[in-house]
Chain A
Amino acid sequence: GAKHASTPADNYHLARRRTLQVVVSSLLTEAGFESAEKAAVETLTEMLQSYISEIGRSAKSYCEHTARTQPTLSDIVVTLVEMGFNVETLPAYAKRSQRMVITAPPVTNQPVTPKALTAGQNKPHPSHIPGHFPEFPDPHTYIKTPTYREPVSDYQVLREKAASQRRDVERALTRFMAKTGETQSLFKDDVSTFPLIAARPFTVPYLTALLPSELEMQQMEETDSSEQDDQTDTENLPLHMSTDDSGPEKENASVLQQNTSLSGSRNGEENVIDNPYLRPVKKPKIRRKK
């Protein structure tokens, strides 16, 4: 029960509720009660409201079940039957003599649901959709309204940031490496100002020197897909066989990958590349022992 400023919608609902209370009270009076506790009236009002709401909800369901939008009398009747109410008794009850007449609730306009997001006009139905179908939802439910934050337009700042960030990372990383490992120095008296990570020979020096680092490979893929240049990708032709891990069996079983378009254009009908290095290794001849 927090008090808050009443809106038109609240007023509307309160008025309806008050009418329901009047209805309950008059029915109680009709039934012979002279007074009732507020809580009891409240409870009964609640029950009545639920009952009426259920009739409405159920009737709407029946209506929609038959593909209509407006409930008809028969929907109400079916609903009442379904709720266990004897409909036949209703006309007689409505015309009972001792019934009390209550004043109609004050005419208050149904509060207009405030158009919170009027993002344009509702779309009318296209011609092939019958008019009784539900309207399109409000545009705001499906229209994209991108919002822009003012971009950091200062290119210089961005580059500056990227550059100094990279530099900081590099410096921190190399300093860390230098601190944790062996170092060399250009100055005998000072080994910490310009610490050089010690030169360490490799067992296979050409591998690190020639193979692109993973970072570069990744970068190569990215730039390859983003840029369209007309380089022929002959290097992608999968015509190769690697024997690095081939034991005897493996090599015998090796099957050539064949690029059909290439062999088609170059070699006509020929389908198998006849290269002596791809031929299987022969089993040794059995020599007769003398």
Chain B
Amino acid sequence: RMNRKKGDKGFESPRPYKFTTHQVVCINNISFQRKSVVGYVELTIFPTVANLNRIKLNSKQCRIYRVRVNDLEAAFIYNDPTLEVCHNESKQRNLNYFSNAYAAAVSAVDPDAGNGELCIKVPSELWKHVDELKVLKVHINFSLDQPEGGLHFVVPNMEGNMAERGAHVFSCGYQNSTRFWFPCVDSYSELCTWKLEYTVDAAMVAVSNGDLVETVYTHDMRKKTFHYMLTIPTAASNISLAIGPFEILVDPYMHEVTHFCLPQLLPLLKHTTSYLHEVFEFYEEILTCRYPYSCFKTVFIDEAYVEVAAYASMSIFSTNLLHSAMIIDETPLTRRCLAQALAQQFFGCFISRMSWSDEWVLKGISGYIYGLWMKKTFGVNEYRHWIKQELDQIVAYELKTGGVLLHPIFGGGKEKDNPASHLHFSIKHPHTLSWEYYTMFQCKAHLVMRLIENRISMEFMLQVFNKLLSLASTASSQKFQSHMWSQMLVSTSGFLKSISNVSGKDIQPLIKQWVDQSGVVKFYGSFAFNRKRNVLELEIKQDYTSPGTQKYVGPLKVTVQELDGSFNHTLQIEENSLKHDIPCHSKSRRNKKKKIPLMNGEEVDMDLSAMDADSPLLWIRIDPDMSVLRKVEFEQSDFMWQYQLRYERDVVAQEEAILALEKFPTPASRLALTDILEQEQCFYRVRMLACFCLAKIANSMVSTWTGPPAMKSLFTRMFCCKTCPNIVKTNNFMNFQSYFLQKTMPVAMALLRDVHNLCPKEVLMFILDLIKYNDNRKNKFSDNYYRAELIDALANSVTPAVSVNNEVRTLDNLNPDVRLILEEITRFLNMEKLLPSYRHTITVSCLKAIRVLQKNGHVPSDPALFKSYAEYGHFIDIRIAALEAVVDYTK
């Protein structure tokens, strides 16, 4: 069975045979017109038991013509139970029934259980041969017509030959789905070496795994054959292919790296990939390990299944990640995709996994080292912000659905043993999961790796990774020796053993808590200050009965900022203790002139007049390092949140303070937010968040608000001309922090409402003026995202129409403000047809704004416009926006 083995026996295959040397895949005909593929595979099989008479392989949607074993014709049966999950005769028609039937169908062909769709009978002439455990060669001829998955054809409908039309095809899919395009053992744990051959049109390039050995013309010189050799043992699931009339770019920094893109996009490819070598350097340095393959290829294709897909020695990316030097917003996103893809080359491609229940280790490590890259590239603030975001996401998801289990162990297969009975799907196979669950699974995996790092230190962590890689690397250079190759497969037990060997620490409780069981922790905290004893009485409650929660027992860090400095306390959270007494260091008598020392050693002057005269407490933080997967609801006074926002240097604390201040609409909160907004040293994301909080506070304070609308004077000071404050300066986006703020402030301001719950006219006119005077002629960067957000701002300003007796919306009764907005949207949307913006960001915003106008009853609610934009042939972002609008009609 596939469960983890105790002891060190290594990996045991579920199959009574092993692959030897290598597998050959030869695709000798590809037709773009018919979207079809013809080829053969040849598997060399090594029986491990006598009387092997059946060989099970995976194959989906392929038509199999002929199977030969050692040149003898062999009979075969092909059955794909996933094609008809619920048979016609079954009476039950509910999700639960389907889910069980589907899981059973997937299980029936699961290669990790030794199953497959294709069952080949070993010819009786060979039985004696098999009993001597001699090698078998299985040769399968197959074809594929109009594949619905696994291999995707993109064939633009226009004049010209296929190369001129930019037609291309690529492999894709979720988890192990290589069986969609050639017969194989579609498992991450069955490694072998590969010979891959593709015969394509002479104007096309075939990109695949391993080294391109040679390219040879066919006899008629109209086609050429690409011969690839992959000598590093690799799972079939990590084999990939992309064929198209690609433009080729050899990386100027690393000549063994080659980039491919569709025709005309070469300048964008050059710019986009110019950064990749730095990611290589980073990973190689922290892992103290060379990139494991002898070459690397990136291919950018249209209609990508996912933005990033990693395969052995190559990655397939969406072409929409390409951008020019003028584009700001896409740049970090694309770089993150490149870094993710590269991290998975080490863990995921080179090092594969033993079984599905070990997936979390691979996703965890690749996600973790990607996080380290983030920290180094974008800084600690961005990193912590990202960790908080991921933590919030997983917590919200687990609380909503009931939990994500990283390392499921399945007993005898009885329903009562199902560790995920709270879900509507089985988590036994990757193919039965929901996509959202899998996304959250990956998120949790890297967060748990970070928790392990917190426990054993980053140094040990990297040593463990290095050890895994060097073992795999040694194994990969060996000739066929199955027990050696299994070193290239990671398992939960092997990984944990490695951690214990390297660090000498016992992390079993941590693993038990976060890996072997699902759920997150929900803390409620409150406190009282006991003046007599000078003690902080902290109460921490937990909710561990709601779905998706679990009980936490163990250490919990609490940081208390007092007048005399910041102090860390480690509390032991135990079964029955809710109250924790924390002695304070400072006396409440305070020396007004004294500076307050912060956690980072900085000493600052504070205006202490707001605080409670009897207490030395400025603010309190529960689990500031995010070393528990938790949600904390903590109660402290508004002035404490304000101090925390102003003076705590951790961006996560600042963001938490901002969210908390929404509940305290007071002039003091307003001032704290405005101050943070103006502070240039403050992290730009915190300032952006402050904009939205300020808008909310202003709305709550609408009857007492004094002065111009929130943020208006600040925006004017930062971005408008000195001499004529109603005109925005010509765009200059060289300072990215200001750029992001300039984009966000109007969007937040448009959320302001007056006493009648309408957007103040002054604000609307202000935004319209920003649009009117927008001038990008002198800017080095494109303003497409800025203009798009100005349209978002217009949409945010819209409030429900005053409708009299549900009258029909016509032009005559159109609100004059809406008329102005509609005027802008019309012009923007029409200009997009003439001068399209990058990724059509402006069209996307216009469509969203039109839906808002419809929903608020200003414009007749008619989906016709969105339907036309949702059609095939529009850019993907436009289609998604249009489809979202169409779906919105159902809400």
Contacts and interface: CB of A to CB of B under 8 A. Distances in A.
Given A155-B723, A196-B829, A247-B202, A282 B217 contact: yes
A63 interface: no
Interface in B743-779: 772-773, 775-779
A130 interface: no
Contact of A277 (B205, B323, B823, B860): B205
Interface in A195-212: 195-212
Contacts of A211: 264-265, 268, 324
Nearest to B215: A281
Interface in B218-254: 218-219, 221, 224, 245-250, 252-253
A198 B248 CA distance: 37
A177 interface: yes
Nearest to B864: A184
Contacts of A283: 216-217
Interface string A261-288: 0100011000001111111011111000
Interface stretch (A19-27, A133-141, A185-193): A185-193
A177 B217 contact: no
A204 B871 contact: no
B880 interface: no
A277 B251 CA distance: 12
Interface in A59-73: none
B217 A199 contact: no
A242 interface: yes
Interface stretch (A80-88, A107-115, A166-174): A166-174
B205 A239 contact: no
Contacts of B871: 199, 201
Contact of B224 (A235, A259, A281): A281
A241 interface: yes
Contacts of B859: 186-187
Given A206-B302, A211-B264, A177 B830 contact: yes
B71 interface: no
Nearest to B872: A201
A103 interface: no
A195 B826 contact: yes
Bin the interface of chain A by size.
35 or more
Given A167-B772, A210-B320, A276-B212, A243 B248 contact: yes
A127 interface: no
Interface stretch (A3-11, A32-40, A213-221): A213-221
A160 B862 CA distance: 37
Contacts of B830: 174, 177-178, 195-197
Chain B CB within 10 A, most for which of A159, A162, A199: A199
B782 interface: yes
B773 A163 contact: yes
A240 interface: yes
Contact of B727 (A159, A274, A276): A159
A277 B212 contact: yes
B782 A212 contact: yes
Given A184-B868, A282-B217, A177 B834 contact: yes
A244 interface: yes
Contact of B868 (A198, A223, A239, A247): A198
B166 interface: yes
B322 A210 contact: yes
Contact of B156 (A178, A190, A203, A224): A203
Contacts of B839: 209-210
Contacts of B684: none
A167 B828 CA distance: 11
B245 A284 contact: no
Given A156-B727, A190-B811, A234 B252 contact: yes
B214 interface: yes
Interface stretch (B175-183, B255-263, B360-368, B708-716): B255-263
Contacts of A197: 829-830, 833
B804 interface: no
Contacts of B838: 209-210, 212
B10 interface: no
Contacts of B822: 186, 194
B77 interface: no
B775 A163 contact: yes
Contact of A208 (B246, B782, B836): B836
A50 B413 CA distance: 130
B810 A190 contact: yes
B302 A174 contact: no
Nearest to A286: B219
A199 B874 contact: yes
A205 B875 contact: yes
Nearest to B868: A199
Interface in B820-854: 822-823, 826-827, 829-831, 833-836, 838-840, 850, 853
A213 B835 contact: yes
Contact of A155 (B263, B721, B869): B721
A246 B274 CA distance: 25
A206 B301 CA distance: 10
Contact of B874 (A177, A195, A201, A244): A201
B326 interface: yes
Contacts of B268: 210-211
A229 interface: yes
A88 to B, nearest CB: 83
B95 interface: no
A150 interface: no
B157 interface: yes
Contacts of A219: 776-777, 779
A204 B264 CA distance: 11
Contact of A273 (B246, B250, B850): B250
B333 interface: no
B734 interface: yes
Contacts of B112: none
Give 8 nearest A-B pairs by CB, closest first. Answer: A201-B873, A174-B830, A276-B212, A209-B875, A156-B724, A239-B252, A234-B274, A223-B780
28 contacts: A178-B830, A186-B862, A189-B810, A190-B811, A195-B826, A196-B826, A196-B830, A197-B833, A199-B865, A199-B869, A203-B156, A203-B157, A205-B873, A206-B302, A209-B875, A210-B320, A212-B838, A226-B778, A240-B248, A240-B249, A243-B245, A243-B247, A244-B163, A244-B245, A244-B264, A247-B203, A282-B217, A283-B216
Interface of B: 156-158, 163, 165-166, 202-203, 205, 211-219, 221, 224, 245-250, 252-253, 255-256, 258, 262-268, 270-271, 274, 295, 302, 319-320, 322-326, 721, 723-724, 727, 734, 772-773, 775-780, 782, 809-811, 822-823, 826-827, 829-831, 833-836, 838-840, 850, 853, 859-860, 862, 864-865, 868-869, 871-877
Interface of A: 155-156, 159-160, 162-164, 167, 170-171, 173-174, 177-178, 184, 186-190, 193-213, 215-216, 219-220, 223-224, 226-227, 229, 231, 234-235, 237, 239-244, 246-248, 259, 262, 266-267, 273-279, 281-285
Given A170-B831, A210-B322, A243-B205, 12 more contacts: A159-B724, A174-B826, A174-B831, A177-B834, A184-B868, A208-B875, A211-B264, A212-B782, A219-B776, A219-B777, A281-B224, A284-B218
